[in-house]
């Protein structure tokens, strides 16, 4: 149980939390851009917020 006291010290938990968040960030980036198909799909959808609604409805008709 002595190792639990190591986590209770603030100077020990800050670097640990930083490492955990950095590893999670790297894993998310690898997941998103790791597959060429997924990367191409994301690139094709990047301008969706900027599309005009009128042009979308005209194309659908």
Give CA–CA dist 31/42, Å, rounded: 12
Please tell me the predicted confidence (pLDDT) of residue 55.
Answer: 57
The pLDDT confidence band at residue 8, using thresholds 50, 70 and 90, is confident
Q: Does the pLDDT of residue 58 top 60, yes or no?
A: no
The pLDDT confidence band at residue 6, using thresholds 50, 70 and 90, is confident
Instruction: Give the start-to-end residue ranges of the domains of the chain.
Output: 1-45
> What does the pLDDT look like over 11-46, one tens digit per residue?
888 888 999 999 999 999 898 888 888 878 878 888
Give CA–CA dist 49/31, Å, rounded: 23
User: Is the pTM value of this prediction over 0.85?
Assistant: no
């Amino acid at each position: 149980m002595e190792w639990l006291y190591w986590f209770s010290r603030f100077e020990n938990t800050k670097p640990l939390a930083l490492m955990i968040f950095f590893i999670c960030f790297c894993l998310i980036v690898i997941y998103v851009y790791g597959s060429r198909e997924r990367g191409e799909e994301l690139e094709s959808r990047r301008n969706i917020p900027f599309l005009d609604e009128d042009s979308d409805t005209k194309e659908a008709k």
